[in-house]
Amino acid sequence: MEPEAGPVLYQKLRVWEPSLESEEEEEEISEQLILDASGPHSSSGNKAGRLPGAWAQLVAALLLLAVGFSLAVRQLCSSGASPGALGSGAPPASGHSHRPGVYHHGAIISPAAECSRLGRELFVAGGNIVDAGVGAALCLAVVHPHATGLGATYWGLFHNSSSGNSTALTSGPAQTLAPGLGLPSALPALHLLHTHFGSLPWPHLLVGPISLAQKGFLVDTSLASALAAQDTKGLCPLLCHANGTPLGPGTRVTNTKLAAVLHKASLAPTPDLSGDALLSLLAEDLGLEGPSVWSRPTLEPALQLPVPQGILFTTPSPSAGPELLELLEASLQSAGPSPAPCPALPQAAAAPRSSVLATVDSSGSVLLLTSSLNSSFGSGHLSPSTGVLLSNLVAESAAGAWACPLIFRGISDDTEVDVLGLVASGTPAAARVMTHTLLSHLARPQTPDQQGPTESPRACGQGTLLQVAAHTEHAHVSSVPSGCCPFQGF
């Protein structure tokens, strides 16, 4: 059941302003110099103190000029510092640097550069990891229609560093809107998560996605590859050239119908109304009355598994979370080698298409989001009045083997937080991949230079594994394969 408590706000990120301390020091120094130059001197041997008034003023003016020049030089030197470029470890203005993917305050990693950038902007605007993650998810719904979208199903896992609690965003069993078409739940799910844990106003999160849909976005390599391998019959004219061929990398796409849907969603005061507005439009498209009763996304306490090193959290059934905890518990009790990350699978087993993203702050709060259309471009049915691609994730589909986000909170004797988040996409063996990765993480010494997954899930299909961590008062992000997913932070 959905919690009855009001919105939970954990400790907000504070924008880092290293210039404050240096400016205070500079003011202090300049005040001392001015006083020394023009103030009275008690020493009778100080000839400067006996200079005529004009000479004393001249000396004071020269000293002020020197101080002003010094401050100007320092300002010019500090103004060239970069806050951190996309996927880079640019040194912060404090003068020390980190390897790529390590930041002082917070970070986000997602499959699309534009969405990682938007998430960082929400961070800097005063938002928390839920604002950044939900905003990036809505962005992905625009720019990655092959893997996610407003027609997708969402699962999420949020760890609140202030309370120590973990909450699961659950979509419930897949439902059918029409034969072969899944009922969309993305908008109410993301709005619900933000209502309880976000800090920025809900409309603020949709400004970027609306602009991308209205003004256009560039097709990236991931979307172009999916289009090249897809029968684009149902995707035209949105994702095709005039002659019916799929769009290539760098082509600009607009989706004004989707922009209008997102705009209406930004005005919806409640999560349910966000979903109802879209559902009514889809029902008109399909000539349906729409389901009179349908399950709503909910927030539930995450499943927990205490282990000697700390505690594990994941999502409940019908996700693959329970399977993941069973694998981990069996492996830890046996004290044997970790299971192979990619077990032998039947040749007919196809990896469901899904999308993942993760956000983290240095205090140890983590948000993991995973969504799926069940296959590339879902059903391939593009709603003409909404610009939304519907999924083919229906009641008869297999349980969410793609959904098993995992958070590990370590036990520490000191005040330093030790939190790890893992989320995998693109493989039905996600639970085994995550088990293997976590056991490898627990088995090796944890130092700042050893953060990051070491095992690749490529053998299980074209999947990705995202890792975020809070360690030594820093936020860490990485992925397997390395470089597959752009990240940003500050």
432 against 365, higher pLDDT: 365
Instruction: Give the pLDDT mean for 218-223.
Output: 95
424 against 93, higher pLDDT: 424
Instruction: Give the pLDDT mean for 369-380.
Output: 92
15-28 pLDDT, tens digit each: 333 333 334 433 33
pLDDT at 96: 55
Q: How far apart are CA 131 and CA 126, in angstroms?
A: 9
147-162 pLDDT, tens digit each: 999 999 999 999 999 9
pLDDT at 485: 93
Helix axes 202-215, 113-124, angle to 10 degrees: 150
What pLDDT band is residue 114 in, cutting at 50, 70 and 90? very high
Q: How far apart are CA 467 and CA 359, in angstroms?
A: 9
Task: Inform me whether the pLDDT recorded for 72 exceeds 70.
Answer: no
Average pLDDT, the chain: 78
- Single-letter code of the amino acid located at 432: R
51 against 100, higher pLDDT: 100
2 against 176, higher pLDDT: 176
171 by DSSP, 3-state: which?
coil
235 by DSSP, 3-state: which?
helix
Quote the tokens at residue 59: 């000396």
Task: Inform me whether the pLDDT recorded for 225 exceeds 80.
Answer: yes
Lowest mean pLDDT among 278-287, 307-316, 334-343, 411-420: 334-343
- 106: β partners: 361
114 by DSSP, 3-state: which?
helix
DSSP secondary structure letters along 256-318: HHHHHHHHHHHH-SSHHHHHHHHHHHHHHHHT----SS-PPPEEEEPEEEEETTEEEEE--TT
Q: In sequence order, which ranges of 51-199 are alpha helices (DSSP H)?
A: 53-79, 113-124, 129-143, 186-197
Quote the tokens at residue 135: 């905003």
pLDDT at 15: 34
35-45 pLDDT, tens digit each: 333 333 333 34
pLDDT at 462: 57
Task: Inform me whether the pLDDT recorded for 6 exceeds 90.
Answer: no
C-alpha separations of 268 from 141, 274, 278 in Å: 18, 5, 11
What pLDDT band is residue 272 in, cutting at 50, 70 and 90? confident
Instruction: Give the pLDDT mean for 441-445.
Output: 74
Task: Inform me whether the pLDDT recorded for 127 exceeds 50.
Answer: yes
Task: Inform me whether the pLDDT recorded for 74 exceeds 70.
Answer: no
Quick count: other Cβ atoms within 10 Å of Cβ 18? 14
Lowest mean pLDDT among 74-78, 227-231, 295-299, 335-339: 74-78
What pLDDT band is residue 391 in, cutting at 50, 70 and 90? very high
What pLDDT band is residue 78 in, cutting at 50, 70 and 90? very low
Task: Inform me whether the pLDDT recorded for 481 exceeds 80.
Answer: yes
Task: Inform me whether the pLDDT recorded for 475 exceeds 90.
Answer: yes
| Residue pointed to by tokens 């041997």 | 45
Report the sign of the C-alpha dihedral through residues 145, 149, 154, 156, in that order: positive
pLDDT at 429: 74
Quote the tokens at residue 351: 């990896």
What pLDDT band is residue 82 in, cutting at 50, 70 and 90? very low
Task: Inform me whether the pLDDT recorded for 7 exceeds 50.
Answer: no
Task: Inform me whether the pLDDT recorded for 224 exceeds 70.
Answer: yes
Quote the tokens at residue 360: 């983290």
What pLDDT band is residue 239 in, cutting at 50, 70 and 90? very high
